[in-house]
Structure 1
Amino acid sequence: MINRRLLALMLRPLMHNRRRLLLAIVLLLTATAMDVMGPWLTKHYIDTYLVPRDLRVEPLTLLLALYVATQGLAALGRYLQTLYFARIALDAVHALRRRVFRHVMHLPQHVHDATPTGEMVARVTNDTDDLRELYVEFLATVLQNLMLLIGILIAMALMDVKLMLIAATLIPVAAVIIWGYQRASGPAAVEVRRLRAGQNARINEAIGGMSVLQAFNQTERFRARYHDLNVAQYHARLHTIRISALLLRSALDLVGVIILAALLIGYGVDSLVGGAEIGVLYAFVTWLGRVSEPLIEITQRFNIFQQAGVAGTRLLSLLDRPQAAAGDDNRAIESADYRLETLAFRHHGADHNTLDDVTLDIPEGRFIGLVGHTGSGKSTLLDLLGGLQPVTKGRLLLDGRPIETLSPSVINTVMASVPQEPFIRSTTLRDNLLMGLEADEASMARALDEAQLRELIDRLPDGLDTPLGERGLTLSTGERQLLALARALLRQPRILLLDEATASVDSLTESRLNRALAGLKGRVTMVVVAHRLSTIARADEVVVMQAGQIIEHGAPGQLLDNPEGAYYRLWHQPSNDLN
């Protein structure tokens, strides 16, 4: 359903190109006027020169030159207005994509967690591209053919009003056909769009996990699931094609033939009564063909309008999602300490709290280890400390100020994080290390040394300029973790958050990470979610979590002196790992 907000989304970009749009319309009007002149000049030739057999060279040459000039100007006008409409469309889509992508970049984390990557990509690319088709294929075609239709009707009326009224009956019939087409094909267009987004999501999922699919012999199962989507989309598209074939060209062609017959009968009656001119018949038959064609073109473009409507609705649903709240406190961080006061957090749409009644002080420069079994809330707490999720209840203070009041730029100047699955781009190691930061060679070398990565740099063929491949798969898991740590250290943070950085690394990489953390102790506030307890053996304080609550905390040695404590039991379990 096209509503006011959807129309505003689709037509707003045109308002930023009013001058170019006005010029395109002027060119369109000129081309239309020249195009309509063709049958008029031919009618004048037939009735004035051909039928009376007046074949003088001078007037015929002038008439021919005028005909060629008008048709040449019509062709030139159509060419230029097509270029202008294409430019308007590209500018509009460019602006819309920037707007949508900017909005996506500021959506809350829970939206990205709940939305398949392929579907989000389809919103930014496919849906915006459908709006480009709206401007180029639909808007330009409709305006062009609407102007042509009006011009032809005016020319017909000036020549013979009664015959014009006969020809004009094609227009309300076409309007009824367009209405029926919209009603019949609308749901099918929505289904095609939904299945297309599902295909994108399935492709993205399969390619991203191809190594796992092949290792577990699941490629056929995924192929079958994609095949089902493909078949469903095929039938949905076939349904729209059947409706289009029935209600667009076929129906309008039939109506056009009926009206042509009525036109011939009307001309015959006029001939019997008053002797109508043969040139008039030629002009009307020619114009009637051109009346049918614009209507067919307009109706055939309505499927593009429908697709654009569906795409616009999907974009509006994305743009309507509220962005992550950002504070406006731009004062510099003076003390990199945290205070958590009866903190609670509930994930979007969940029916219970993930964290509940968490109270904790983290002084500046302290090394805090977070431990607990899977699902205890460690990573969620780390997200809150990083400002990635909003607090549901209680208070989370950084530098004595609620973290939600601090601007992201202030937080980013003092904080860096190392996720469990590092984000590595398919560019060079240098690009991945800098990640948009400007730093000299000495600063990069210092960060690499602190992260224990010097040996890797010496081993790579092009050093920092070595391409890392898709998702950095040319590096080992441990090397990707160390690169993420080096990237964080290059920013010289005062707060460092690590989420199970040793969960998937070998013993050598773990020892390197431990040495790196030991070198930062006392200088940086560190909160480390530990999968292996050896990672936080030198922590100032260990916090044990269970079911979203802190059940024990204290110095590691102190906790190990209590055989009845939770940390003691975790330390003495066989693997010394938390699962």
Structure 2
Amino acid sequence: MAGEDAELRGSTTWEGFAVLGHAIRREPAIFILSTLGSVLFAVLTVADAWVLGWATDHVVIPAFENGEIATGLLWAVLGLFLGVAVLRAVGIVARRLGAGVMQFRMQAHTRRAVTRQYLTLPMEWHQRHPTGQLLSNAYSDVEAAWAPIAPLPMALGTVVMMAIAVVQMILADMVLALVGLLVFPAVVVANLAYQRLASPLMTHAQALRAEVSEIAHESFDGAMVVKTLGREGEETDRFRAKAHELRDVNIRAGRIRAAFDPTLASLPNIGVLIVLAVGTSRVMAGQTDAGDVVTVAYLLTIVAFPIRAIGWLLGEFPRSVVGYRRTEAVIAATGSMEYGAATLPSAGRGAVLEVDSLHYAYDPATRLLDGVTFDVQPGRTVALVGQTASGKSTLTNLLTRLVDPDEGQVRIDGVDLRDLARGELAGAVALVPQTAFLFDDTVRGNITLGADIPDDVVWAALRDAQADGFVAALGDGLDTQLGERGTSLSGGQRQRISLARALVRRPRLLILDDATSAVDPEVEARILATLRDGSTDTTLVVVAYRKATIGLADEVVHLDEGRVADRGTHRELLGRNRDYARLVNAYEQAAHEEAAGSATVPSSAGGAQ
């Protein structure tokens, strides 16, 4: 961490300006508008000092000397102050509006780019990055990356203000200007000290924000597990520890800021006191005018403001650089998913699936698939059966190219999946995973996912998934809002909606990864029978556990420890493969025991009553 902080301190300023340069190149018109507004504000702020000095020499002092004020001069002073104030207000509006629009546009552009990249990157990349970190990249890192845009126009305008003010101070009185400008080195030293102390703390705080987000997302996503196991206290403690660490780092940074701001504010005031003291003696000696003293003193307070504004800009750089690095790491990520130019028929007969010597491992020490080979002919149904961790779900990920194999090929109609053009596979293959994910949308929206699909086609898919009955009974039918993750539905209903989502696209190859496990066995049998008998143009691969489900398949591929242990019809494997028979009967026995247990609970409860 110390080495990283030292590197960051050395490059923060230049990287921060580079980040701002990227924003300026993307939004030049808005940047120019906001900068011109800031320059207008700066010039008129300095003009205030000139008006104040002119009013002192031509109105205030003559009033003390003569005991009266000329009406014309009074109106002139009021007009000058009012005109400067109105134009300065116009500059403030242009500056703030332009900076805000530029900042929010850059945030929106970056968030869209990050989100598009998330949807483009392969699952292999997502598996290496926690979901909480991805959320932090798309939200807090994007926000931090473009935070310096807000003070940028003001800082640029104040540079102009500072240059004009210094020139005007020198023209008013060279000696007083030199005395007043002695505060500059002190302010610069204070800014450098603040950057050195605050930058590593702000960098660490930005990293901790991502960690807090990760823990919160895990806890929310696993709320059911946490509650059923009674681990609320432990999760709260885990979150509290990281949140307190973030709090402590922010407090330490706040203490530094609390010491820095008063110091920075006091230095110009000290300079003003020195200028007034020296200026009084020079006025008494007849070496300058009182108006010049007032002008220089006022200009000195103005000169201090630009340095503070630049300090605010530089103070945002540590968080900005960290946030920009993280978002750019996502946008620049390529993963290992490359595409060819081959195409597949969009409709017609079922797909020919060929799996040839597949090898796959999440890490070198754990090989999940080892030389898996089989094929499925068009319109046929194949069941994948195996113990837990035998590689079934990993195989379905490979069949849909969510990940690529380490060795071997998956071919559809003789074409290697890696040779297909981007998006081509999704038009021919559909996967219904183990966990049915539903969006906070209507039934129609969850099935079509925004595609232009007629309602009659949606209802047909629901009928094939045995979901038309309960959907019709919902309050608004297809327009019923399902809530986040479909919490208003049962597990079996969510699975059937998820299945209808795949069927509505009429895939040539349909892969079901235990996609009906929460459905009643009779309903599951009807679903599979419909798919098998009514969709002869669809090739079906089913990860199955229930004997009745397996019995509907034309062929069974028995996986054991990542290899194809046997292959044949369900009846053939029962007769010749003892391990397969033991596995299938064990699943069946477990299902019967679970059903028997569920049936005895109401009876016992009734007896107790």
Counterparts of 2:240 and 2:361, CA distance in 1: 38
Q: CA deviation at 1:495?
A: 0.6
- SS of residue in 1 equivalent to 2:556: strand
Cα-to-partner distance string for 1:184-222 (whole Å, 9 max, x where unaligned): 112211222222222222322333333332332222222
Partner of 1:202: 215
Matched, 1:30 2:17: no
Partners of 2:590 and 2:425 in 1: how far apart? 32
User: What CA distance in whole angstroms lies between the structure 2 residues aligned with 1:488 and 1:282?
Assistant: 78
Task: Name the structure 1 match of 2:267.
Answer: 255
Please give the alpha-carbon distance, in whole angstroms, between the structure 2 residues aligned to 1:315 and 1:574. 47
What do the CA deviations read for 1:277-334 (whole angstroms, capped 9, x no partner)? 1111111221222222332343245433322222112212322322452414253338
Is 1:343 aligned to residue 354 of structure 2?
A: no
C-alpha distance in 1, partners of 2:503/2:461? 6
Distance (Å, rounded) in 2 between the aligned partners of 1:115 and 1:436:
28
Matched, 1:535 2:549: yes
Equivalent position of 2:155 in the other structure? 142
Q: Partner of 1:41 in structure 2?
A: 51
Shift in Å, 1:350: 4.8
Q: Which residue identity is paired with 1:286?
A: Y
Alignment partner of 1:100 is 2:114: yes
Does the 8 Å CA contact 1:157/1:164 hold for their aligned counterparts? yes
Quote the residue 1:327 is aligned against.
339
Identity level (%): 26
After TM superposition, the structure 1 stretch with the greater mean CA deviation from structure 2, 451-460 or 328-337, is 328-337
Number of the residue aligned with 1:303:
315
State the Cα deviation string for residues 72-116 of structure 1 (Å, max 9, x = none).
211221122211221111222121111111111112213323333
Secondary structure of the corresponding residue to residue 564 of structure 2: strand
1:386 CA displacement: 0.3
Judge conservation of contact 2:342–2:421 (CA < 8 Å) in 1: yes
Q: Please, which of 205, 211, 225 is the counterpart of residue 238 of structure 2?
A: 225
CA deviations over 1:2-22 (Å, ceiling 9, x no partner): 467765454323212212222
Stretch deviating more after TM superposition (62-71 or 291-300): 291-300
Residues 116 and 201, structure 1, Cα contact 8 Å, conserved in 2: yes
* Residue matched to 1:275: 287
Q: CA deviation at 1:269?
A: 5.6
Alignment partners' CA distance in 2, 1:210 and 1:574: 28
Residue pair 1:6, 1:312 contacting (<8 A) in 2 also: no
Deviates more, 1:17-26 or 1:371-380: 17-26
Where does residue 359 of structure 1 map in the other structure? 373
Structure 2 partner of 1:318: 330
Q: Contact between 2:546 and 2:584, CA under 8 Å: does it hold in 1?
A: no
One-letter code aligned to 1:224:
D
Partners of 1:450 and 1:516 within 8 A in 2? yes
> Is 2:411 aligned against 1:397?
yes
1:291 aligned residue? 303
Cα deviation, 1:416-456, whole Å, max 9, x if unaligned, reads 11111111012111111211222222212211111111221
Query: Among residues 13, 19, 24, which one is paired with 2:29 in the alignment?
Result: 19
**Unaligned stretches of 5+ in structure 1?**
none
Q: Distance in 1 between matches of 2:234 and 2:562?
A: 37
Letter in 1 for 2:510: L
Of 26-35 and 290-299, more deviation after overlay is shown by 290-299
Match of 2:598 in 1: none
Matched residue, 2:597:
none
In the alignment, the residues of structure 1 paired with residue 18 and residue 568 of structure 2 have an alpha-carbon distance, to the nearest angstrom, of 58
- 1:167 corresponds to which residue? 180
What residue is the counterpart of 1:524 in the other structure? Answer: 538
Residue equivalent to 1:243: 256
Corresponding residue SS for 1:497:
strand
Q: Which residue of 2 aligns with 1:432?
A: 446
What is the Cα deviation at residue 490 of structure 1? 0.7
Runs of 4+ off more than 6 Å: 3-6
Q: Distance in 2 between matches of 1:503 and 1:190?
A: 47
Distance in structure 2 (CA, Å) of the matches to 1:519 and 1:144: 75
Quote the offset at 1:130 in angstroms.
2.2
Across the two proteins, how many residue pairs are aligned to each other? 574
Task: Give the SS at the match of 2:356.
Answer: strand
C-alpha distance in 1 between matches for 2:540 and 2:590 = 21
Give 2:461's aligned residue.
447
CA contact (8 A) 1:419 1:498 kept: yes
Does the C-alpha gap of structure 1 residues 346 and 174 become closer, same or farther in structure 2, counting only changes over 3 Å? Answer: farther
Greater alpha carbon shift after TM alignment, 34-43 vs 44-53: 44-53
C-alpha change, 1:182 and 1:416, in structure 2 (3 Å) is: same
Whether contact under 8 Å (1:533, 1:577) holds in the other structure is no
CA distance in 2, matches of 1:106, 1:374: 30
SS in 2 for 1:354: strand
Decide whether the 8 Å contact of 1:502 with 1:535 is kept in 2: no
For 2:145 and 2:170, the matched residues in 1 are separated by 37
Considering only aligned residues, what root-mean-square deviation do their CA atoms show, in Å? Answer: 2.4
Equivalent position amino acid for 1:288 in 2:
L
CA–CA distance in structure 2, aligned partners of residues 28 and 75 of structure 1: 10
Q: In the aligned structure 1, how far is the partner of 2:355 from the partner of 2:20?
A: 46
Q: TM-score, normalised by structure 1?
A: 0.92
Give the Cα–Cα distance (whole angstroms) in 1 for the partners of residues 330 and 351 of structure 2.
36
**Of 87, 93, 99, which aligns to 2:101?**
87
Verify: 1:184 aligned to 2:189, yes or no. Answer: no
Q: SS in structure 2 opposite 1:127?
A: helix
